[in-house]
């Protein structure tokens, strides 16, 4: 019931100002966000690596219409990747990039700028043995993001992308991407989407997730199962085993701060578990989407405010 207003608030500048000025918000946010600076992210990567967990790092930010801001985001990823390399943590790491943070919405030639900026991040990742995955934003960006993915993969065939099971088109996108060398992170989807393009009922989204999983697990690519849902994880495990997959040809992924014990349990079972670690100052939109997807997260936030 609260999902729609919270997702609307995620895009409201007024709400953002209100939430950001509450002094206690920061400490609640820290459950989901690694910190604001590169060393904060590197420290969390080290802690997770010590527990056998891999990472994908997201330098927070989205929807920029400022070319300088987009260039700053690229530099932040470059700085992060060299800091990880200096600490011996870059090999096998991944960075998650929102194309809207690197220029996709710029009024002049946004897609071209986003492609060029994403190329720079891919070059920096390749130099240190890391990979890049393109996050997926609302449905108005899906074609553009998949188009940029195709361009990037001609030069960097290991670049991955996120597909969202709540979109009606996603089964077909899975078919097209379930090919040799292709890395697909399958999630349910976190934005407010209209009925014409997206399933609205949770059960419909779950059924779509399973159909997409079947396509990806039976295909030739590298499926990345991004969900905290025990049912989806159990089904993915069964489909992987039926398809004869081994621990190194697919992986499980969860968000930092969500079900941390389960993350460690899955890694402890000898499976590949990667944690999505966001860091940076632009946490508002990410944080509000986390509140929207689970009433317990909202309750945790409100309790945190009340007890301070
Ligand atoms: P869902 O929210 O339906 O929860 C199902 C069940 O999981 C719950 O009933 C509960 O059992 C368990 N669960 C969930 N949260 C829990 C918690 N906090 N504590 C305990 N149990 C919990 N979205 C997007 O649109 N674009 C993107 O690029 C990405 N990227 C991305 C990367 C990664 C690595 C992940 C894990 C997720 C994303 N997402 C995303 C977010 C995704 O679309 C989705 O909103 C969330 O993962 C929540 O969906 P779940 O599949 O976890 O199940």
Within a domain: residue 13?
Answer: no
Q: How far is ligand 1, taken at its centre, from the CA of residue 285, in Å?
A: 15
| pTM of the shown model | 0.95
- Two tokens, residue 20: 């950001």
DSSP, residue by residue, 40-96: HHHHHHHHHHHTT-EEEEEE-------HHHHHHHHHHHHHHHHHHHHTT--TT-EEE
Whether residue 144 is contained in a domain is answered as yes
Q: Ligand 1: which residue has its CA nearest to atom 7?
A: 229
**CATH code of residue 167:** 3.20.20.220
**Residues in the chain where the model's pLDDT stays below 70:** 1, 24, 304-308
d(CA 189, CA 211): 15
Output phi, psi for 65, to 5 deg. Answer: -120, 25
* Domain ranges, residue 73: 33-282
Please count the structural domains in the chain.
1
**Is residue 36 within 8 Å of residue 278, measured between CB atoms?**
no
Q: In whole angstroms, give the CA distance from residue 69 to residue 71.
A: 5
Instruction: Indicate if 13 belongs to the active site.
Output: no
What is the rounded distance in angstroms from the CA atom of residue 122 to the CA atom of residue 155?
9
In a domain, 17, yes or no: no
In a domain, 48, yes or no: yes
In a domain, 296, yes or no: no
By CB neighbour count within 10 A (0-12 exposed, 13-18 middle, 19+ buried), where does 190 fall?
A: buried
Cα Rg of the chain, angstroms: 18
d(CA 202, CA 208): 10
Q: What is the pLDDT of residue 308?
A: 52
Looking at the CA of residue 297, tell me the nearest atom of ligand 1.
18
ipTM of the complex: 0.97
pLDDT in tens, 177-194: 999 999 999 999 999 999
Residue 3: what are its φ and ψ, rounded to 5°? -60, -50
143 catalytic, yes or no? no
Q: Looking at the domain assignment, is residue 234 inside a domain?
A: yes
Q: Are 70 and 102 in contact (CB under 8 A)?
A: yes
Residue of the nearest CA to atom 4 in ligand 1?
Answer: 229
Pocket of ligand 1 (CB under 6 A): 135-136, 162, 164, 185, 187-191, 226-230, 232, 253-255, 258-259, 276, 293-294, 297
Asked if residue 123 is part of any domain, the answer here is yes
Residue 6 included in any domain? no
pLDDT at 110: 96
Q: What distance in angstroms lies between residue 149's CA and the mean position of ligand 1's atoms?
A: 23
Under a CB-based contact definition with an 8 Å cutoff, are residues 54 and 272 in contact? yes
């Amino acid at each position: 019931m609260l999902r729609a207003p919270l997702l609307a608030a995620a895009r409201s500048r007024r709400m953002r100002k209100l939430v950001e000025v509450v002094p206690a918000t920061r400490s609640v946010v820290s459950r989901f966000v690694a910190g604001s600076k590169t060393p904060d992210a590197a420290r969390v990567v080290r802690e997770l690596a010590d527990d056998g967990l891999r990472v994908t790092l997201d330098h927070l930010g989205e929807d920029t219409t400022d070319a300088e801001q987009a260039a700053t985001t690229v530099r932040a990823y470059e700085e992060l990747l060299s800091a990880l390399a200096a600490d011996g943590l870059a090999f096998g790491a991944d960075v998650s990039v929102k194309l809207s943070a690197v220029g996709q919405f710029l009024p002049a030639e946004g897609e071209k700028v986003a492609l060029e900026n994403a190329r720079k991040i891919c070059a920096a990742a390749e130099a240190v043995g890391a990979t890049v995955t393109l996050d997926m934003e609302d449905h108005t960006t899906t074609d553009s993001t998949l188009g940029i993915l195709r361009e990037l993969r001609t030069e960097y065939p290991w670049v991955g992308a996120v597909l969202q099971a709540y979109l009606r088109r996603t089964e077909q996108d899975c078919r097209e991407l379930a090919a040799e060398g292709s890395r697909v992170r399958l999630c349910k989807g976190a934005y407010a989407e209209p009925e014409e393009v997206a399933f609205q009922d949770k059960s419909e989204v779950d059924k779509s997730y399973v159909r997409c999983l079947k396509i990806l697990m039976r295909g030739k690519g590298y499926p990345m199962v991004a969900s905290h849902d025990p049912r989806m994880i159990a089904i993915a495990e069964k489909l992987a085993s039926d398809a004869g997959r081994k621990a190194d040809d697919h992986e499980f992924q969860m968000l930092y701060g969500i079900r941390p014990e389960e993350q460690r349990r899955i890694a402890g079972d000898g499976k590949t578990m990667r944690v999505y670690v966001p860091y940076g100052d632009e946490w508002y939109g990410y944080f509000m989407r986390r509140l929207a997807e689970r009433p317990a997260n909202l309750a945790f936030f409100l309790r945190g405010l009340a007890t301070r």
